[in-house]
C-alpha cells in the first residue's frame, strides 16, 4: 500500500466499530500458506536419537522468548500461521487468528475460549485481541499488531516488540511469559502468548484487563470477563510421586500429569529454591510415539513442564501410558550460553493414563 494513502486512511474514523468485514481472497490465502510453509521448513530441527545425550530442540519453530518479570515480556519469535479471518482497520487489512491455529491444536476450543475481537489504537499502532483461554495457572492469548509502515522482511519484527501486562480482579498477575510471533503480511504481526498467572483460581469468573505497548509506546487496554471453569472440568489429572536427584544433591519430585484440550503438562516440586538446572523428560507412549516435555515455568519450589510439540506433537488420544526418562543440564553462570547437552539423572518411569486424552 502506498504510504501516502495509508496516512490519509489513518485520519479517518478508526474506532473498533468502524471496521468493515470481508472475506479473504482464496489466492491470497494460498500465497500466505505457501510462504509460511517455506519459513517453517527453513526453521526445522533434529532431535537426538535414543541413547544419546538429550540435545535441546527449539520449543517452537523459530526462536522462543521466556522470562520471569513483573511487567509484560517481549515476543521475539517467528511463527507459522494460517489465516482465520480479516477485517479492515484504518484502511489496512488486519489478519486475525485463533489460538487453535497458532498453537497447532486440532481439538475444539470453542467451549473454553473467550472471543474478544476488539481493537485499540494509539501512537500509530493497532492491537486486536483475538481470543483468550484460561487454564490452570496460565492465560493463553492471540493478538494481531497492525503497524504504520510496511515491513519489508521478517528481520524488522524486532522493531515492533510487544509488551503485555495482565491484571485480574484489579491485581497485576503476569509473572512470566513466552510466545511466538510472525509477519502475516506487510502490515500485520500475529502473536500468541502463554502468560503464567500463579495463585489465581482460573476456574472462577474473573475480571480481566490486558494492557498492550509496542516498543514502549502505550497502545491501549482490553477489559472483559473470562472463566476457565469448563476447561478445568474437562482436565484429566493423574497423581505422580516420582523423584530424581540433581547433580548438586537437591531433589525434584514430579507430582502430577494433566491433559486437556490445550495440551499436556507435568508439575514438579523441588527441595531447593536455588534452582540451577533445566529439566527435560523424553520417552515414548505405549504406541511407540516419541514424547518429550520441557520445563516451561519455575518459581521458588515448584514448576511446570509442557509437552514438546515441534518434533512430536501432542500426546496421542489413543495412548494409555507414557514412559519417560529425566534429563538435566546446569544453567549458565558466566557467559549466559545455554548448554544443549542434557545428562540423564534418573531411571525411566511410567505414567499410566486411564482415560483418553
Which pLDDT value is given to residue 7?
Answer: 38
Average pLDDT of the segment spanning 61-81:
30
**Higher-scoring residue by pLDDT: 91, 271:** 271
Which cell is 50 given?
Answer: 535414543
Which pLDDT value is given to residue 236?
Answer: 95
| Pairing assessment for the beta strands 85-89 and 65-68 based on DSSP bridges | unpaired
Q: Is the pLDDT of residue 67 over 70?
A: no
Q: Is the pLDDT of residue 355 over 70?
A: no
Q: Which residue has the cell 484502511?
A: 91
Asked whether 196 and 202 are in contact (CB, 8 A), the reply is no
**Higher-scoring residue by pLDDT: 79, 310:** 310
Would you place residue 335 in the very low, low, confident or very high pLDDT band (cuts 50, 70, 90)? low
Query: CA of 104: how far to CAs of 10, 167, 190, 349, in Å?
Result: 34, 27, 14, 28
pLDDT tens across 113-160, in order?
998 889 999 999 999 999 999 999 999 999 999 999 999 888 888 889
Q: 10 Å Cβ neighbour count for 198? A: 14
Asked whether 357 and 236 are in contact (CB, 8 A), the reply is yes
Q: Is the pLDDT of residue 112 over 90?
A: yes
Q: Is the pLDDT of residue 98 over 90?
A: no
Which pLDDT value is given to residue 94?
Answer: 54
Q: Choose among 114, 94, 95: nearest CA to 9.
A: 94
Query: CA of 56: how far to CAs of 43, 65, 311, 340, in Å?
Result: 14, 15, 11, 5
Average pLDDT of the segment spanning 275-297:
93
DSSP 8-class letter at 157? G
CATH superfamily of 3-23+62-229: bacillus anthracis domain (2.60.40.1630)
pLDDT tens across 160-179, in order?
989 999 999 999 997 788 88
Domain coordinates in residue numbering, the chain: 3-23+62-229, 235-352
Alpha-carbon gap, residue 122 to 91, rounded angstroms: 15
Q: Is the pLDDT of residue 85 over 60?
A: no
Which pLDDT value is given to residue 271?
Answer: 87
Which pLDDT value is given to residue 188?
Answer: 93
Q: What is the share, in percent, of the chain residues with pLDDT greater than 70?
A: 70
Asked whether 79 and 98 are in contact (CB, 8 A), the reply is no
Which pLDDT value is given to residue 39?
Answer: 40
- Side-chain half-sphere CA neighbours of 209 within 13 A: 10
Which pLDDT value is given to residue 187?
Answer: 93
Q: Is the pLDDT of residue 71 over 70?
A: no
Average the pLDDT over each of 151-160, 242-251, 308-317, 333-342 and give the range with the smallest value. Answer: 333-342
For 235-352, the fitting CATH number among 2.60.40.1640, 2.40.340.10, 3.30.9.30, 3.40.50.150 is: 2.60.40.1640
Asked whether 94 and 144 are in contact (CB, 8 A), the reply is yes
Instruction: Kindly report the average pLDDT of the chain as a whole number.
Output: 76
Would you place residue 96 in the very low, low, confident or very high pLDDT band (cuts 50, 70, 90)? low
Alpha-carbon gap, residue 148 to 82, rounded angstroms: 23
Q: Choose among 268, 262, 199, 200: nearest CA to 230.
A: 262
Alpha-carbon gap, residue 340 to 326, rounded angstroms: 15
Which pLDDT value is given to residue 87?
Answer: 39
Q: What is the share, in percent, of the chain residues with pLDDT greater than 90?
A: 50
Same fold for the domain at 3-23+62-229 and the one at 235-352?
yes
Integer-rounded Cα Rg, in Å, for the chain is: 21
Q: What is the 3-state secondary structure (H, E, C) of 69-127?
A: CCCCCCCCCCCCCCCCEEEEECCEEEEECCHHHHCCCCCCCCCCEEEEEEEEEECCEEE
Alpha-carbon gap, residue 47 to 276, rounded angstroms: 24
Which pLDDT value is given to residue 86?
Answer: 40
Amino acid at each position: 500500500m502506498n504510504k501516502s494513502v495509508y496516512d490519509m486512511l489513518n485520519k479517518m474514523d478508526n474506532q473498533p466499530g468502524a471496521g468493515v468485514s470481508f472475506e479473504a481472497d482464496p489466492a491470497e490465502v494460498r500465497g500466505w500458506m505457501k510462504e509460511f510453509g517455506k519459513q517453517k521448513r527453513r526453521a526445522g530441527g533434529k532431535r537426538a536419537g535414543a541413547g544419546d545425550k538429550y540435545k535441546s530442540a527449539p520449543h517452537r519453530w523459530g526462536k522462543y522468548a521466556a522470562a520471569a518479570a513483573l511487567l509484560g515480556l517481549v515476543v521475539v519469535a517467528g511463527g507459522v500461521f494460517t489465516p482465520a479471518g480479516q477485517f479492515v482497520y484504518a484502511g489496512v487489512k488486519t489478519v486475525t487468528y485463533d489460538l487453535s491455529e497458532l498453537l497447532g491444536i486440532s481439538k475444539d476450543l470453542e467451549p473454553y475460549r473467550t472471543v474478544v475481537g476488539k481493537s485499540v489504537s494509539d501512537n500509530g499502532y493497532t492491537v486486536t485481541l483475538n481470543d483468550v483461554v484460561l487454564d490452570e495457572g496460565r492465560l493463553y492469548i492471540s493478538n494481531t499488531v497492525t503497524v504504520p509502515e510496511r515491513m519489508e522482511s521478517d528481520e524488522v519484527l524486532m522493531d515492533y516488540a510487544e509488551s503485555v501486562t495482565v491484571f485480574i480482579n484489579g491485581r497485576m498477575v503476569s509473572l512470566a511469559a513466552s510466545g511466538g510471533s510472525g509477519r502475516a503480511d506487510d502490515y500485520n504481526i500475529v502473536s500468541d502468548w502463554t502468560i503464567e498467572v500463579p495463585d489465581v483460581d482460573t476456574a472462577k469468573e474473573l475480571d480481566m484487563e490486558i494492557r498492550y505497548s509496542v516498543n514502549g509506546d502505550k497502545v491501549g487496554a482490553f477489559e472483559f470477563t473470562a472463566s476457565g471453569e469448563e476447561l478445568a472440568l474437562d482436565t484429566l489429572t493423574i497423581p505422580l510421586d516420582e523423584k530424581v536427584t540433581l547433580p548438586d544433591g537437591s531433589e525434584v519430585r514430579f507430582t502430577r500429569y494433566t491433559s486437556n484440550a490445550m495440551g499436556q503438562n507435568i508439575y514438579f516440586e523441588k527441595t531447593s529454591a536455588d534452582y540451577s538446572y533445566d529439566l527435560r523428560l523424553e520417552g515414548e507412549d505405549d504406541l511407540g510415539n516419541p514424547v518429550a516435555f520441557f520445563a516451561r515455568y519455575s518459581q521458588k519450589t515448584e514448576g511446570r513442564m509442557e509437552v514438546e510439540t515441534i518434533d512430536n506433537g501432542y500426546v496421542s488420544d489413543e495412548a494409555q501410558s507414557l514412559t519417560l526418562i529425566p534429563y538435566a543440564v546446569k544453567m549458565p553462570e558466566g557467559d549466559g550460553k545455554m548448554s544443549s547437552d542434557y545428562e540423564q539423572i534418573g531411571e525411566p518411569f511410567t505414567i499410566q493414563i486411564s482415560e483418553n486424552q
